[in-house]
Structure 1
């Protein structure tokens, strides 16, 4: 089995973003305005109010957690300020 290295992170590494609502810090990469990759750290998982509200449920993300709206808004604001490059541009 050959494991292929994902070179996308070499060209555009993930950048830290702090949620303006709860202060959680995640790593973010935006391929486009519509596509965002987010790496949640343990502390962010514990401190995100929207994520906690989705618990309990099956799996690590709870039953109804599809994403944090406050974090989404923080990421979009950071991208609009130019703090996160958008790869399609």
Structure 2
């Protein structure tokens, strides 16, 4: 079985976006208004205020992943609205 290469990032690469609250920088690719891919690096993980709070109040031994930061989500949507973050399939509802 041959794996087909994933060329999506070649066409529209990930864009660095800073959170409007904590200034953490992540890489983002917005495939549509409903789908967003986010890559966190170690500095962003440590700098995210919502992520830090979630870890402090989490039950010990928690295994569920941190899914979203509301402040970062707002920054991503605003970047897309301003045209700073391309939306690959820009079909608005």
In 2 relative to 1, CA 82–4 (structure 1 residues): closer, same or farther, beyond 3 Å?
same
Of the two structures, which has the highest relative contact order with CA contacts closer than 8 Å and spacing of 6 or more? 2
In the other structure, the counterpart of 1:69 is: 70
Instruction: Tell me the secondary structure at the aligned position of residue 38 of structure 1.
Output: strand
Query: How many residues align structurally?
Result: 86
Give the gaps of 5 or more residues in structure 1.
none
**CA RMSD across the alignment:** 1.6
Deviation for aligned residue 1:54: 1.4
CA–CA distance in structure 2, aligned partners of residues 46 and 69 of structure 1: 16
Secondary structure at 1:31 match in 2: strand
TM-score w.r.t. the length of structure 2 is 0.83
Structure 2: segments with no counterpart, 5+ residues: none
User: Which stretches of structure 1, 4 residues or longer, exceed 4 Å deviation after superposition?
Assistant: none
Whole-Å separation in 1 of the counterparts to 2:36 and 2:83: 15
Superposed CA offset, 1:3-57 (max 9, x none): 4321100000000000000000000000001100000011000010111111145
Secondary structure of the corresponding residue to residue 39 of structure 2: strand
2: CA distance between counterparts of 1:73 and 1:39? 16
